[in-house]
Amino acid sequence: MRMSAEERRESVVRAAMIEFARGGYRGTSTEAIARRVGVSQPYLFRLFPGKQAIFEAAAERCVEETWRVFDEASAGLTGEAAAEAMSGAYMGLVEDRDQLMMQMQLYVSVFAARASGEEEIGESARRLWEGLFERVRIRIGGDMRDATQFFAHGMLINTLVALGFPPDHRIWNGFDDTCDKAE
């Protein structure tokens, strides 16, 4: 039950990823996060300075986690083979949709923050994203257009998952062999 503050923070971040993924920043109460952690709501404010800080930690973790998935899937591979391995790994994430949705929540939250004047949070999010993009780009061979293509398909997958298209729906057919340029 009782654990160190660092361990608690860790479980808060994990719980926050799930709750924020489903409810968004405004739609998630700190109460809900605390309940998932199994701890009282006020205690969250001992571990983090505020709700915003919890969200930021979850967002950063989400991007790290995504790279970890890509990295493991494509270990030792390069170019086309790496791209295919990572695509497959990303499709696997469709199962636990929370990871994908946390990404989208990050994007719209950044926009909301920017719309109300807070630009610093946008800068750090762009750094995170660009870092992921660059690592992927290098891994698949360095071509800018290939990397763009890769991320574009990822973003479409996020959207289809958000809308809840079932895996056997015809809308998913367009992904078949989409990485093959040779006919």
Partner DNA sequence: GAAGATAGTGATTGGCCACTAACTTGGAAG
Partner DNA sequence: CTTCCAAGTTAGTGGCCAATCACTATCTTC
Region binding DNA by CB under 7 A among candidate stretches 5-13, 57-65, 78-86, 150-158: 5-13
Q: DSSP letter for 27, please.
A: T
Pick the binder of DNA from 40, 78, 124, 159 (CB under 7 A).
40
Does 76 participate in binding DNA (rule CB under 7 A)?
no
Reduced to 3 states (helix: H, G, I; strand: E, B; else coil), residue 180 is coil
| Tokens representing residue 79 in the block | 């170019």
Residue from 16, 28, 85, 125 that binds DNA (CB under 7 A)? 28
- Residue 43 has which token pair? 């205690």
DSSP state of 169: S
122 near a second copy (CB under 8 A): yes
Nearer of residues 53 and 81 to DNA, judged by Cβ: 53
Among 152, 167, 168, 182, binds a second copy (CB under 8 A): 152
**3-state class (DSSP) for residue 123:** helix
Closest CA to 17 of 53, 67, 57: 57
Per rule CB under 8 A, is residue 145 in the interface with a second copy? Answer: yes
Q: Which does 120 bind (CB under 5 to 8 A by kind): a second copy, DNA, none?
A: none
> For residues 84 and 90, what is the distance between their CA atoms, to the nearest angstrom?
10
Q: Tokens 């763009």 sit at which residue? A: 148
Q: Say how far apart CA 98 and CA 120 lie, in whole Å.
A: 26
Asked if 117 interacts with DNA (CB under 7 A), we say no
- Nearest to a second copy of 2, 170 (CB atom): 170
Cα–Cα distance between 70 and 66 in angstroms, integer?
6
Q: Is 43 an interacting residue with respect to DNA (CB under 7 A)?
A: yes
User: In the chain, which residue ranges form alpha helices assigned H by DSSP?
Assistant: 5-23, 30-37, 44-47, 51-73, 79-93, 97-115, 120-139, 144-163
Stretch of 47-55, 103-111, 113-121, 162-170 contacting DNA, by CB under 7 A: 47-55
Least gap, CB of 171 to DNA (angstroms)? 32
Residues in contact with DNA by the rule CB under 7 A: 1-6, 8, 28-31, 39-43, 45-46, 50-52
